[in-house]
Amino acid sequence: MKTPLFWMIWLVTAVLLTTCNARLYTPIPTAEEPPRAAVLAHLRYLRGELEQGAGPEMQRLFPEGYFFTHVLYGLTWVDLALQEPAHQPTALAEARWALAKLDTPAGYAPFPAHLEPPYGMFYNAWRAYLLTGILLLHPEGEWNTAEIGRYRAECAALAQAIADSPTPFLPSYTNQAWPVDTFPALVALRGHAQLLGDAQYEPLIAEWLAAVQTHLDPALGLVPHRTEATTGAMLDGARATSQTLMLRWWLELDPETAVAHYATFRQQFVTTRVGIPGVLEFPPTRNGRGDIDSGPLLAGVSLSATAVMWGTARVYGDEALMVPLGQAGEALGWPLGWGGERWYGFGLLPWGMRSRCGHRWPRRGLRPCPLATMG
């Protein structure tokens, strides 16, 4: 005879399976549609989490946790306001709040101060990228004097460091360089021409793009995941957690090359597991294990890279991939919410902030945060 516990377990399992299957058919907005109300609801939830210590909590989980959580929060507000201008005042306040958090000891403490630029490329490139987004929220010529002065100074420092470097990929830690960390710096420099009408950094950008082409993973023709800090020699071949981000910036810097790289990456890394789309951390020809960059892998699939790929596919207009990825995220991420808030993964971590980001920055050609779920 079946006990009440049996029937309770059966009922819960049935509800979970039914809900999961229903969410696989969740309507996913096209690449041209603005963000949905869920983005705003999740941002409200994230602000509350950040005020209650989510930054230090994420810092305990990975080396840039505090910095990354705040910078992505600010960038998502920028993206939302550029798509829905009614949110511009709030977005400006929130993005500036996030930027101020990056300037605190908690923001820069994990990074070596002796690097050039000080605290390394990861810290400086993402910070300049967020500042670029803040400037984009203003009508042309109506910028805050202090912010535009800071932007010019940070661009000059980044440009000098890139020009002086023997390799296109500058270190983020002592003797450690990840190519993906340099990309947002170049987008910030490109913004100098598109925001201010000053093309002084365009020759440097062209030189940098040419140098990158001489430092590709020879087996795949993609940018390596990790390189030697002084020569740019490949230490770790192309991997999904960095490619899904780099591809977003490629489209702003060099669209023709970006489309070619996207096609190669999609062919080599996108797969399905039990009918659910996912992104392999390593190409099928290579073996590898999950690490601090990728997080845990499930049958070779990186959950973080898969989430980032949703936004990347959106920017490239690849709805054949974007739609099933978005539906899988709704099914497996278990978004919940009430009282004007929305969170993923039962709220166990402040994740999901980037899952809806994937629009192009419409003004003066720039694009937004290359982001996806933090989980």
Report the CATH number at residue 132.
Answer: 1.50.10
User: What region, left, alpha or beta, does residue 53 occupy, with left being phi > 0 and alpha being psi -120 to 50 degrees?
Assistant: left
Give the model's confidence band at 120: pLDDT under 50 very low, under 70 low, under 90 confident, else very high.
Answer: very high
Give the number of domains in the chain: 1
Is the peptide bond between 117 and the residue preceding it cis, with omega within 30 degrees of 0?
yes
In a domain, 13, yes or no: no
Average pLDDT over residues 92-119: 95
Give the model's confidence band at 36: pLDDT under 50 very low, under 70 low, under 90 confident, else very high.
Answer: low
In a domain, 375, yes or no: no
- Do residues 181 and 172 lie in contact, with contact meaning Cβ atoms separated by under 8 Å? yes
| Cα 179 to Cα 171: distance, rounded to the nearest angstrom | 8
Q: What angle do CA 288, 167, 247 make, to 5 degrees?
A: 55
| Cα 53 to Cα 188: distance, rounded to the nearest angstrom | 29
| Cα 212 to Cα 221: distance, rounded to the nearest angstrom | 11
Give the model's confidence band at 351: pLDDT under 50 very low, under 70 low, under 90 confident, else very high.
Answer: very low
In a domain, 23, yes or no: no
Q: What's the pLDDT tens digit per position in 184-210?
A: 999 999 999 988 889 999 999 999 999
Give, as one character, the DSSP assignment of residue 364: G
For 236, list phi and psi in degrees, rounded to 5: -145, 120
Give, as one character, the DSSP assignment of residue 352: -
* DSSP one-letter string for 83-146: HSGGGHHHHHHHHHHHHHHHTSHHHHTTS-TTSSSTTHHHHHHHHHHHHHHHHHTSPTT---HH
Q: Calculate what percentage of the chain has a pLDDT beyond 70.
A: 78
List the beta bridge partners of residue 176: 173
Model pTM above 0.85:
no
In a domain, 9, yes or no: no
Alpha helices in 180-239 (DSSP H): 183-196, 202-213
Does the pLDDT value for residue 269 go beyond 80? yes
Find the domain containing 269 and state its range.
Answer: 33-365
In a domain, 345, yes or no: yes
In a domain, 191, yes or no: yes
Average pLDDT over residues 143-156: 94
Amino acid found at 254: D
- What tokens were used for 265? 């990456």
- Do residues 70 and 101 lie in contact, with contact meaning Cβ atoms separated by under 8 Å? yes
In a domain, 221, yes or no: yes
Give the model's confidence band at 98: pLDDT under 50 very low, under 70 low, under 90 confident, else very high.
Answer: very high
Residue 259 exposed, middle or buried by CB count within 10 Å (0-12, 13-18, 19+): middle
- Do residues 78 and 130 lie in contact, with contact meaning Cβ atoms separated by under 8 Å? yes
List the beta bridge partners of residue 226: 236
In a domain, 16, yes or no: no
Pairing of strands 270-273, 234-236: unpaired
Q: What's the pLDDT tens digit per position in 173-186?
A: 999 999 999 999 99
